[in-house]
Structure formats: structure tokens, C-alpha cells
Amino acid sequence: MKRNNTVNSMRFLRMSRCAFFLIFLVMPYSHQAQAKTPKDMRKSAQDFVRQFYNWYVSVAFKENTGPPSDLALKSRSYVFSRKLFRALKKDSDASKKASGEIVGLDFDPFLASQDPGKRYQVGKVTREGNSYRVEVFGVWSGKKSEKADVVPEVMRKKGRWLFVNFHYPNAVDAKSENLLGILNVLLHERQAGTK
């Protein structure tokens, strides 16, 4: 009787090990199966961009003494990638230090304009590798722009969306096609001016 209990215990132990091993192998795949579908990801990216623009247009242009983008950096820093935040902050700090001359951005980087529209509508979402580009259209006098004014590029990191760049479809040249590129050019110009 004792021997049967020992044999049963050993079988149970082996079966438990096998079950644990199988769970360990299957877990990564079951997690992937629960991942959002491409359609869900596009919708999620679109919602993230829409929420930011709803806030930005309604809050940033009311009783704000400095550039509205500075308010976004101050109160919504968590929506920007580290790289984009640092580049925007450097540009903002340089502009504050300069007196009487423009050494940084001379337009709103999130609206691609000096004068905001009454509101902004989010449009089509396109996947680009690991990121998504979301078209944003300004609305002036009740009429939506025919072409997107700005196309934020967003990426999902550690379970949340971040702005990683902003693209400008109406740019006149390749150097001014995206925000990180523009900020890099302005930084080099400032550095060259101090030498």
C-alpha cells in the first residue's frame, strides 16, 4: 500500500512538471493571441491623437501667455517620446533666452500653423513599421482642410501611446517635412551661431 502511494506521488510530480513546462511554453503564444488586432490598434492610435487635439485646442489657446506647445510640454510631457520631448524642450529654452530674434520654431509644431483652426478632426490612420501616422485636419469657418495639416506619428511603448514625431504634408522641402528634422536643423544653426 505504501509503495502504491509512493508510485502515485511520483506520477503526480512528473505530471505536474509536464503541465508546468507546457504552460511555460504556451504562455507567450496565448499572450500574443490576446494582443489587439491591427484594426483595434489603428482605432486606439486615432483615439489617442483625438484626445490630445481636443485638449490642446480647447485649453492651450486660452489665457496662455507663452507658446501653447510649452503648455503641452509642461502639463502633458508623458505623451511625448523622450527624444521628441528633449528636442522640443531645447528649442523652447533657446527661444526664451533669445531676445528680439527667432532662434527656434516660429509656428505651432502640433498644428503646423501660426494661427489655429477653430477645431481639428482626426482622419485616416496608416501603419508605418512599428508606428502609426494619424492625419489631422484643421477646420476653419466650418470647412475642413482638403489635405491633412499635420500627421502625428505615434508609437505604443510599455502599454501607452507616445508622440514620436509630427509630419507636415504641406512642407516645401524635405528639411521641413517633419518636426524632429526641423528641430535638428535649428539646433545646428544655433550651435553654428555661437562659434
**pLDDT at 103 > cutoff 90:** no
Helix (H), strand (E) at residue 120 = strand 119-128
Span 147-160, pLDDT tens digits: 999 999 999 999 99
Summary mean pLDDT of the chain = 83
**pLDDT at 179 > cutoff 80:** yes
Contact, 133 vs 155, CB < 8 A?
no
The percent of residues in the chain predicted with pLDDT above 70, rounded, is 76
Best CA proximity match to 84, nearest among 169, 163, 20, 173: 163
And the C-alpha cell for 195? 562659434
Residue ranges in the chain assigned as alpha helix (H): 2-34, 38-55, 68-75, 82-97, 179-193
**pLDDT at 19 > cutoff 50:** no
SS3 91: helix
And the C-alpha cell for 167? 509630419
**pLDDT at 70 > cutoff 80:** yes
On whether the pTM is more than 0.75, the answer is yes
**pLDDT at 34 > cutoff 50:** no
SS3 85: helix
The percent of residues in the chain predicted with pLDDT above 90, rounded, is 57
**pLDDT at 85 > cutoff 50:** yes
Residue 142, classified by CB atoms within 10 Å of its CB into exposed (0-12), middle (13-18) or buried (19+), is exposed
User: For position 77, what pLDDT does the model report?
Assistant: 96
SS3 129: coil
Span 111-137, pLDDT tens digits: 999 888 889 999 999 999 999 999 999
- Nearby residues of 55 by Cβ (< 8 Å), 6 or more positions away: 76
Q: What is the pLDDT confidence band of residue 2, given thresholds at 50, 70 and 90?
A: low
User: For position 17, what pLDDT does the model report?
Assistant: 53
From residue 109, give the alpha-carbon distance in Å to each of 87, 94, 130.
12, 16, 22
